[in-house]
Amino acid sequence: MNNKEQLISRFESRSATIGIVGLGYVGLPLLLRYSSIGFNVIGIDIDPNKVEQINSGKSYIEHIASDAIAAAVTSGAVATSDFAQAAKCDAIILCVPTPLNKYREPDLSYVTSTMDSLLPHLISGQVLSLESTTYPGTTEEELLPRIEKCGFTVGDNYFLIYSPEREDPGNPDFQTNTIPKICGGHTKECTEVGISLYSPAIDSVVPVSSTKVAEMTKLLENIHRAVNIGLVNEMKVVADRMGVDIFEVVDAAATKPFGFTPYYPGPGLGGHCIPIDPFYLTWKAREYGLHTRFIELSGEVNQAMPEYVVSKLMDGLNDSGKALKGSKVLVLGIAYKKNVDDMRESPSVEIMELLRAKGCDVSYSDPHVHEFPRMREHDFDLRSEELTAESLSEVDAVVLATDHDKFDYELILEHAPLIVDTRGKYRSASQKVIKA
């Protein structure tokens, strides 16, 4: 058998070793999935704390149970910070961050530095899959030349694919295996290997003709959401001026059984994908002399939402005879979406930054984030406040930024002097509720 046939055979027999590089919200569920179906799995991460916790059978992500990690370790899964372990793997799956830099340009440093750390340990007959969201052409322009410099012929004795992650942390309706997986290879042979890699673990694998198509597919998915959220956020501002409840409008429109998908407004965009990914395409499009006005406009609208929320808070305090400066403001929910502990690109933190800059005494309450974590661009020495009648009555206002189910909304309504509601939890009219 040739290299392709041997590799496919190992995946089909589940005798292959799967290497997962990057053990965060994408990589860790993938590690658990492959382990649960009988594969040997090696997880690689530069964070020694993650490595230690996994090997101790402990979870550092709220919606992932420690029992699941312990079961994987018992089955032989291991975590390490030693990139040399990649030489033991039949497949290497990269699940590392792709943020934007301060100029809102793609930062591929995590991808390229990880790849450079792996290069000395690549072996003939492996497949490497990039799952990190990026611009079309990244796999061909950044990964392919590095692999070829090692002396491999991609499509013959080494295989390269792009298969974008589609994780939705905390969504109980979908698991890693039930979300269809896009797979595009550099060659037809690469795609065949990629399908065989993911087919045992994922219920439905969707092949596409190239890595570029797969990269563009991921961007389209997230740009679709970003643009539609930008639209409804803009309509929220218009509806508010007209005295119309935008949440009631969206609910009514959603009764149409065709041609409409409901998107709801909020305080801005959060998570690793939707606030970031559209700018990967706008940046790449400039290389071709194109200006993606539609995408950039939605980005402008969504990025302005935290300031809009602060302006509504300012109006509410002003009506009560209070200034924003010096006011005590409690932010409810600092994770980027409900019922998770994921802080990536959370608009709640942007709101906190704006309030602090304007002289507010800022605190927060979040049942999923007990202590404000270390973040690249934000630094708050705060712990989550317990919500009680006393603690609520002691602040000048609360900003409902993330609508976790664990919040006692009746308690908040009864005792908070002023509520800025960015999530439409308080639909009925109340003098103390400001819709934002």
Which residues belong to the active site? 273
C-alpha–C-alpha distance, residues 161 and 172, integer Å: 29
> Please, where are the H alpha helices in 27-143?
27-36, 48-55, 66-74, 109-118, 138
DSSP three-state, residue 182:
strand
**Contact 208/183 with Cβ under 8 angstroms?**
yes
The strands making up 159-162's β-sheet, listed across from edge to edge, are 78-80, 40-44, 17-21, 91-94, 127-130, 159-162, 181-185, 205-208
DSSP three-state, residue 400:
strand
Q: Which residues pair with 21 in a beta bridge?
A: 44, 94
How many other C-beta atoms are found inside a 10 Å radius of the C-beta of residue 390? 9
Q: Which residue has the tokens 């990039």?
A: 130
**Contact 162/184 with Cβ under 8 angstroms?**
yes
Question: Which one-letter DSSP state was computed for residue 38?
Answer: T
Q: Tell me the pairing of strands 181-185 and 159-162.
A: antiparallel
C-alpha–C-alpha distance, residues 100 and 108, integer Å: 9
Structure token digits, residue 335: 């994770």
Question: Which one-letter DSSP state was computed for residue 141?
Answer: I
**Which of these, 203, 32, 42, 193, lies nearest to 125 by C-alpha position?**
193
Question: Which one-letter DSSP state was computed for residue 162?
Answer: E
